[in-house]
Chain A
């Protein structure tokens, strides 16, 4: 493997760990939140209530999933 391929692989692995890692639900949920933000941006009250609410739901749900999964080793940030 030449050095360019190795660098490209390392670069790809860094972004994979950063964006997806052991919590792919965050990546998918944030994409959904972006789409929802564009969809409801003109409905101001809905927008600034819905976006934080969705974020809280995603955080709590993922944390609960982490509790059920137990203390498994993962990528340290």
Chain B
């Protein structure tokens, strides 16, 4: 396995984990603010622990007991489905055909829903625990799939898990610093980059597992990334021209990929 593909693996896992954790953190902060910080943090911690067990419990047996080519075809297909769906959504959002993910709106809706029956500031609250647990667990499951898929197919489960963990720590740290400013994170741009990497990895592993010999071996991943980057840029530009002229504050900005 070349250094370049390991770097791309780390970037893909880190980016995917960061995007999902931004979404999860919105729910955790909402549960903490409106109900109980203690329970929200406990729910998050338990969810992260369960996800780590899933990575170890599913990833390690995959590496040791499943034939590598079969694993690569299945993993490649899964990554390709996931990568294409992320890319599609990111292109639609960047070109103005779909509303962008609005963390502010999700935060406001969640705090309103949770507002009633607020627990004492120092007490435990079951609702806050469950909301935080579900938010982190459900968003994290997609990251687990990416970690296990990329890590197992390259025999780099440890590196993939560390990259995902680093993203969780960094996003949580930023979340603690900026509190409710998560809407400033350029989520669609990150999603687009990760979508390109997942699609490239997925197609590469799918082909490898099926017996296709890619020119340049692992370097073909970088070529595929370049191809999908060019396709994405061209498609966004083309589809932006199909949007009616923007009016007022809803206009997509000049770069088209910045969130707001």
- The reply to whether A71 and B212 form a contact with Cβ atoms under 8 Å apart is no
Contact-size category for A: 20 to 34
B-contacting residues, A18-71, CB 8 Å: 18-19, 21, 23, 26-27, 30-31, 33-34, 37-38, 41-42, 44, 47-48, 51-52, 55-56, 58-60, 62-64, 66-67, 70-71
Report the interface size for chain B: residues with CB under 8 A from the other chain.
41
- The reply to whether B85 and A63 form a contact with Cβ atoms under 8 Å apart is no
Most buried by B among A37, A44, A62, A71: A37
- The reply to whether B85 and A71 form a contact with Cβ atoms under 8 Å apart is no
* A66 to B88 CA separation, bound complex (whole angstroms): 8
Interface of A is mostly: helix
Q: A67-B97, A76-B23 are in contact. Are A48 and B207 (CB under 8 A)?
A: yes
- The reply to whether A67 and B210 form a contact with Cβ atoms under 8 Å apart is no
A-contacting residues, B90-107, CB 8 Å: 91-92, 95, 97-99, 101
- The reply to whether A23 and B88 form a contact with Cβ atoms under 8 Å apart is yes
- The reply to whether B91 and A63 form a contact with Cβ atoms under 8 Å apart is yes
Measured between beta carbons, the chain B residues less than 8 angstroms from A27 are: 81
Query: Which of A44, A55, A66, A77 contacts B213, CB < 8 Å?
Result: A44
Query: Inter-chain contact count A-B, CB under 8 Å?
Result: 106
* A55 to B87 CA separation, bound complex (whole angstroms): 12
Q: Is B161 an interface residue (CB 8 A)?
A: no
Chain B: CB-nearest residue to A73: B99
Q: Is A14 an interface residue (CB 8 A)?
A: yes
**Least distance between A18 CB and chain B CB atoms (Å):** 7
**Least distance between A49 CB and chain B CB atoms (Å):** 10
A-contacting residues, B73-90, CB 8 Å: 73, 77-78, 80-82, 84-89
Query: Which of B95, B203, B235 contacts A55, CB < 8 Å?
Result: B203
Q: Is B11 an interface residue (CB 8 A)?
A: no
Q: Is B46 an interface residue (CB 8 A)?
A: no
A-B contact pairs, 17 of them (CB 8 A): A21-B85, A23-B88, A27-B81, A30-B80, A30-B81, A30-B206, A31-B77, A37-B206, A47-B212, A51-B212, A55-B203, A56-B228, A67-B95, A67-B97, A71-B97, A71-B98, A77-B86
- Interface residues, chain B, CB within 8 Å of chain A? 23, 73, 77-78, 80-82, 84-89, 91-92, 95, 97-99, 101, 141-142, 145, 199, 203, 206-207, 210-215, 220, 224, 227-228, 231, 235, 239, 242
